[in-house]
Amino acid sequence: MNYTIKQYEKYKFVEEGEGETLLLLHGLFGAMSNFEHLVGHFSKQFKVVVPILPLFDLDIFHTSVGGLEKYVQKFIEARGYSNIHLLGNSLGGHVALVHVLKHPELIKTLTLTGSSGLFENGMGDSYPKRGDYEYIKKKTQLTFYDPETATKELVDEVFEITNSRVKVIKIIALAKSAIRNNLGEELNQIKQPTLLIWGNNDTITPPFVGKEFNKLIPNSELHFVDKCGHAPMMEVPAEFNQILDGFLQKHSTHSTVNL
């Protein structure tokens, strides 16, 4: 992705376009490349912001969903964003949920895709194995309906993360924090219009999770995408952008984004 990573104080982020803020939060094995198609499309009408979440930089006591949410809150304060359309994938969705529940005042809409917060399979039935490239490749491919979506570049990124003992410890800490931090009892407090985009073939947060979010979040709408796994914005970007575009048109001051 050929976008400049900016630095402001301790924060690293991409910021493209002008208008209301569309803030994107990546997941546990996420990277800027996850949102390449969103940034390119929506920066024509929005100020699209992608902070690099400090998944491996927080001390172990703050390596949690709550710790990441505090980081996001301080980032929003430091940059002075308002009228925020907040979107999160996987763990990023969980962080977005906690943020909306704690600091609803600046958030205009919420979009979740493959979000944790109710149920997730994580890496599967075992901890990530260090040094086993084929294992990591197969686990990465499970994120998608089409295994070919897991490019060598993406597998290499995940392999590099899982090959570091310190990073693996922090992955496990974050995964355990996500499982402990179940938001089922609090979701009815969310007042913002909420869009749920779910892959019909998501094995990490299966379709029933999307249905449960839809049931528990009052002002929510659910869209399923066929032949799609845990990261619709990567696997079916055109369809994802079209659904998100329709939702944002209803809840922002912008005219139609050209598809």
Q: What is the 3-state secondary structure (H, E, C) of 5-73?
A: CEEECCEEEEEECCCCEEEEECCCCCCHHHHHHHHHHHCCCCEEEEECCCCCCCCHHHCCHHHHHHHHH
Assigned domain for 126 exists: no
Contact by Cβ (8 Å): 114, 43: no
Q: How many CA atoms lie within 13 A of 219 on its CB side?
A: 11
Q: What is the pLDDT of residue 129?
A: 62
Q: Which of 16, 6, 32, 8 is nearest to 233 (CA)?
A: 32
Assigned domain for 131 exists: no
The share of the chain scoring above pLDDT 90, in percent, equals: 76
Assigned domain for 151 exists: no
Q: pTM above 0.95?
A: no
Assigned domain for 63 exists: yes
Average pLDDT over residues 111-130: 73
The share of the chain scoring above pLDDT 70, in percent, equals: 94
Tokens at residue 139, please? 């686990």
30 band by pLDDT with thresholds 50, 70 and 90:
confident
Phi, psi for residue 243 in degrees, rounded to 5:
-65, -45
Q: What whole-number distance in Å separates Cα of residue 42 and Cα of residue 65?
A: 27
Assigned domain for 193 exists: yes
Q: What is the pLDDT of residue 125?
A: 43
Domain limits for position 106: 6-120+182-251
Assigned domain for 171 exists: no
- When divided into structural domains, the chain yields a total of 1
- 199 by Cβ neighbours in 10 Å (0-12 / 13-18 / 19+) ranks as buried
Assigned domain for 110 exists: yes
Helix-strand-coil split of the chain, %, nearest 5:
45, 15, 40
H-only helix segments in 217-258:
232-235, 237-251
Assigned domain for 79 exists: yes
CATH number of the domain to which 200 belongs? 3.40.50.1820
Region of 137 please: left (phi>0), alpha (psi -120 to 50) or beta: alpha
